[in-house]
Structure 1
Amino acid sequence: MEDAQPEGGENNRDVDVAPALISVHPTQDSVAVAVGSDLRVFDLRGNCGITLVDETGEAFHKDSIRAIRYGANGKLFVSAGDDKLVKIWSTDSWRCITSVCSEKRVSAIAISNDGLYVCFADKFGVVWVLDLHGLDGNETLVDKKAAPLLAHYCSIITSLEFSPDGRFIVSADRDFKIRVTVFPKKPLDGAHEIQSFCLGHTEFVSCLAFLCTAEYPQGFLVSGSGDSTVRLWDINSGTLLDTCEVGSQAGLVDYSGSELSCSTVTDLCTIPGGNVVAVAIQSLQGILLVSCDLSSQTLGAVKVVSNMGDNFIPTSLGCSSSAELLWTITGVSKLHGSDYNSLARVRVLSGFKKTVPGTTKHELTVLDDNEVPGEEKLLEKLQGSVTVEEEVFLAAAEAVKKSMCNLLIKKQYTTERREFRKRGRNDKKIKQ
Structure 2
Amino acid sequence: MEDTPMENGETNKDSEVAPALIAVHPTHSSVAVAVGSDLRVFDLLGGCAVSLVDDSGSSLHKDSIRAIRYGADGKLFVSAGDDKTVKIWSTESWRCITTVCSEKRVSAVAISSDGSYVCFADKFGVVWVVDVDVSDGNQASVNKKAAPLLSHYCSIITSLEFSPDGRFFVSADRDFKIRVTVFPNKPLDGAHEIQSFSLGHTEFVSCLAFVCTQECLQGFLVSGSGDSTVRLWDISSGSLLNTCDIREKAGLLESKGIEECYGAVTDLCTIPDSTLVAVAVQRQVPICWIFLQGIILLSCDLSAQTLHVAKVVSIEGDAFIPTSLGTSSSSGLLWMVTGASNLHDSQYPCVARVKVISGFKESTPDSVEHGSIVLKYNEIPGGEKLLEKLQGRVSFDENFFLTAAEALKTSMSNLLIKKQYSTEKREFRKRTRNDKKLKQ
**Partner SS, residue 140 of structure 2:** coil
- Structure 1 residues 247-256 or 114-123, which shifts more? 247-256
How many angstroms does 1:258 deviate by? 5.8
Q: Is the 8 A contact 2:128 2:149 kept in 1?
A: yes
Flag the 1:309–1:106 CA change in 2: closer, same or farther, 3 A: farther
Residues 271-286 of structure 1 mapped to structure 2, 5 A cutoff: 271-282=271-282, 283-286=291-294
Residues 24-39 of structure 1 mapped to structure 2, 5 A cutoff: 24-39=24-39
- 1:319 and 2:324 matched: no
- Which letter does structure 1 place at the counterpart of 2:328? S
How many angstroms does 1:141 deviate by? 1.5
- 1:361 and 2:369 matched: yes
How many angstroms does 1:393 deviate by? 0.4
How many angstroms does 1:252 deviate by? 1.9
- Which letter does structure 1 place at the counterpart of 2:242? D
Counterpart in the other structure of 2:192: 192
**Partner SS, residue 433 of structure 2:** coil
- 1:291 and 2:299 matched: yes
Residues 259-274 of structure 1 mapped to structure 2, 5 A cutoff: 262-274=262-274
Flag the 1:340–1:52 CA change in 2: closer, same or farther, 3 A: same
Q: Distance in 2 between matches of 1:380 and 1:134?
A: 31
Residues 225-264 of structure 1 mapped to structure 2, 5 A cutoff: 225-254=225-254, 262-264=262-264
How many angstroms does 1:308 deviate by? 5.6
- Which letter does structure 2 place at the counterpart of 1:289? L
Flag the 1:47–1:204 CA change in 2: closer, same or farther, 3 A: same
- 1:18 and 2:26 matched: no
Residues 27-426 of structure 1 mapped to structure 2, 5 A cutoff: 27-133=27-133, 135-142=135-142, 144-254=144-254, 262-282=262-282, 283-307=291-315, 309-354=317-362, 361-385=369-393, 387-426=395-434
Q: Is the 8 A contact 1:350 1:364 kept in 2?
A: yes
1:225-282 CA-partner distances (Å, limit 9, x unpaired): 0001000000000010001101222112459996765511000000011011000011
State the aligned residue count: 427
- Structure 1 residues 377-386 or 163-172, which shifts more? 377-386
1:179-231 CA-partner distances (Å, limit 9, x unpaired): 00000000000000000000000000000000100111101000000001000
Q: Distance in 2 between matches of 1:257 and 1:171?
A: 38
TM-score by length of structure 1 reads 0.94
How many angstroms does 1:12 deviate by? 3.5
How many angstroms does 1:336 deviate by? 2.3
Flag the 1:219–1:358 CA change in 2: closer, same or farther, 3 A: closer
Flag the 1:222–1:259 CA change in 2: closer, same or farther, 3 A: farther
- Which letter does structure 1 place at the counterpart of 2:123? K
- Which letter does structure 2 place at the counterpart of 1:36? G
How many angstroms does 1:345 deviate by? 0.2
Q: Distance in 1 between matches of 2:366 and 2:432?
A: 66
Q: Distance in 2 between matches of 1:56 and 1:292?
A: 44
Q: Distance in 1 between matches of 2:366 and 2:142?
A: 57
Q: Is the 8 A contact 2:384 2:394 kept in 1?
A: no
- Structure 1 residues 354-363 or 122-131, which shifts more? 354-363
How many angstroms does 1:55 deviate by? 1.1
**Partner SS, residue 351 of structure 2:** coil
Identity of aligned residues (%): 72
For structure 2, which runs of at least 5 residues remain unmatched after alignment? 1-5, 283-290
Counterpart in the other structure of 2:286: none
Flag the 1:82–1:184 CA change in 2: closer, same or farther, 3 A: same
- Which letter does structure 2 place at the counterpart of 1:334? N
Counterpart in the other structure of 2:436: 428
**Partner SS, residue 68 of structure 1:** strand
Counterpart in the other structure of 1:3: none
Q: Is the 8 A contact 2:9 2:419 kept in 1?
A: no
Q: Distance in 1 between matches of 2:35 and 2:331?
A: 24
TM-score by length of structure 2 reads 0.93
Q: Distance in 2 between matches of 1:390 and 1:350?
A: 24
**Partner SS, residue 381 of structure 1:** helix
How many angstroms does 1:340 deviate by? 1.6
Q: Distance in 1 between matches of 2:366 and 2:271?
A: 21
Q: Is the 8 A contact 2:118 2:132 kept in 1?
A: yes
Flag the 1:90–1:323 CA change in 2: closer, same or farther, 3 A: same
Q: Is the 8 A contact 1:117 1:132 kept in 2?
A: yes
Flag the 1:426–1:216 CA change in 2: closer, same or farther, 3 A: same
The structure with the greater share of residues assigned to strand is: 2
**Partner SS, residue 104 of structure 1:** coil
Q: Distance in 2 between matches of 1:7 and 1:318?
A: 38
Flag the 1:356–1:231 CA change in 2: closer, same or farther, 3 A: closer
- Which letter does structure 1 place at the counterpart of 2:118? V
How many angstroms does 1:318 deviate by? 0.1
Q: Distance in 2 between matches of 1:9 and 1:298?
A: 39
Q: Distance in 1 between matches of 2:27 and 2:240?
A: 32
Q: Is the 8 A contact 2:9 2:420 kept in 1?
A: no
**Partner SS, residue 361 of structure 1:** helix
- Structure 1 residues 354-363 or 121-130, which shifts more? 354-363
Q: Distance in 2 between matches of 1:96 and 1:302?
A: 41
